Structure 1
């Protein structure tokens, strides 16, 4: 293979992965919304990670065993990080899907870089330029427009959809994880870190899943219709999206790769329209534009936001 073909093929794989990654993340919201009536949210979160673990552990175990001393030394930090990422983020996302649309989930989810930047300023003391502060403010206005559905009385009367507010809590949780990840860095290879986080996060979810199973939802019936969404959650937005994202970040850098995150709500709106019959309202367009402009200003101006590892 010639030297010219190899870089071209590498670039094609990079950008194909960068398009597939937000598509898989958008699918996470759409499939969750479409199946939340047949699979309880906590069952969805727990079994998603159990399936992912079953796939990853045979490959990850040698690295985990080699780094067992490091894992033990940083176990407290890793449990905290796993709680906010694997444990809380997707669990809250799936709970949000009960009472809000896939489009709203994806729009609010797209503001994760804003929450990372805001919390880095609050917790780590990162300096924020005026134009970045403007971007954060515009993105927050965009979130409010989506949550309020274009009606200010929804906010003043505290009538917002619970799912929208739960989704805000989810992105706050991921932002907190991202900032703590930077402050409490764990010296592990990426794949070993990911696998250990999924293992610990699954253990964090376990008691909540069991309580929900025994006292609330009663679980779900395992059929082809319920097994397929769980397999999708584990393989596509979990393992494959992570692999595509990391390959792209190593190829072209986090700043250029981050631009493709903005495709997530676009894909979610298209998929939700096709498969769920959701329609875009004027507030989606206005809120989406405010979020997009805010993201561009906050993440492309001045010092870049802290890097974060996406596990949605």
Structure 2
């Protein structure tokens, strides 16, 4: 019996590692697929219908929890709405807007700095203690972002000639940082599935009026076909539901500090996928910026620091 239990635990741990390897692949795919389809699907349509599909998939499983914990949800509706706005609503919509005018590689590199923004905002807003080595890590990661945004040319920054998409992506990462800080300050006592379902439901409602304005006055929506439906299904299932589940399971099995290391795979995956499917070339500034960002991440998220709340539904 003991050997069977040990074998079962080993299998669960192995599955956790497999899930943690796949999760950054799904996140990288989010940027690459968005960049490849943003001319066919407007950003707000992409964000809105992605979450509608995810909600349709989740509701049969999450609805009992919503009903069972309805009083908790009502009591914390303000906090839940704020959390949904910064995560499901703003973060993903901004990421898709960024895909209009920057590369998938840039999106992934800037997106990789989420833990840095979480640490910085936790220090500024929550008064978290930050060790000197973490300050150095934050500084290096910020420098790496500037290298990516400037494309290695200081005149891009001084001349305010940065790509709009890069700046929008910085705003997206900042939005997720605010979500993470609020999640710590205004923790809502809900099971994971109920919390996720509520967040997607509220976030979809937040996006709805912006989507309708965009649909009527600006983009006009998109034509439904295999080339537009499949990306939306991918967004809903892989970087959404599966990545969230795999990530949470991995954190539970091996701990947040070890799981955080797998986040470093996201820009690596994105660079390869963007090169293969979008013919994006890797510049020297990508390499230099990536090295600075990843070095900063290693220093700022060292084992021993309480892991930030950046569990995501990208």
After TM superposition, the score normalised by the length of structure 1 is 0.98
Q: For 1:140 and 1:305, locate their aligned partners in 2 and report how far apart those are by CA, in whole Å.
A: 19
Q: Assess if the C-alpha contact under 8 Å between 1:39 and 1:219 holds in 2.
A: yes
Q: For 2:60 and 2:25, locate their aligned partners in 1 and report how far apart those are by CA, in whole Å.
A: 27
Provide, for residues 233-266 of structure 1, a one-character-per-residue CA deviation record: whole Å limited to 9, x for no partner: 0000000001100110110011100100000000
Q: For 1:244 and 1:309, locate their aligned partners in 2 and report how far apart those are by CA, in whole Å.
A: 11
In structure 2, the residue matched to 1:81 is 83
Deviation at 1:5, TM superposition (A): 2.8
Deviation at 1:21, TM superposition (A): 0.1
Q: Assess if the C-alpha contact under 8 Å between 1:43 and 1:219 holds in 2.
A: yes
Q: Gaps (5+ residues) in structure 1?
A: none
Deviation at 1:11, TM superposition (A): 2.1
The residue correspondences of 1:173-252 to structure 2 (distance < 5 A) are: 173-252=175-254
In structure 1, the residue matched to 2:56 is 54
After TM superposition, the score normalised by the length of structure 2 is 0.98
Q: For 2:293 and 2:227, locate their aligned partners in 1 and report how far apart those are by CA, in whole Å.
A: 35
RMSD: 0.9
In structure 1, the residue matched to 2:290 is 288
Q: Assess if the C-alpha contact under 8 Å between 1:28 and 1:233 holds in 2.
A: yes
Out of 129, 134, 143, the position equivalent to 1:132 is 134
Deviation at 1:311, TM superposition (A): 1.0
Deviation at 1:302, TM superposition (A): 4.8
In structure 2, the residue matched to 1:35 is 37
Out of 156, 160, 163, the position equivalent to 2:162 is 160
Sort the Cα spacing of 1:247 and 1:301 in 2 relative to 1 into closer, same or farther, 3 A. Answer: closer
Q: How many residues align?
A: 312
In structure 1, the residue matched to 2:68 is 66
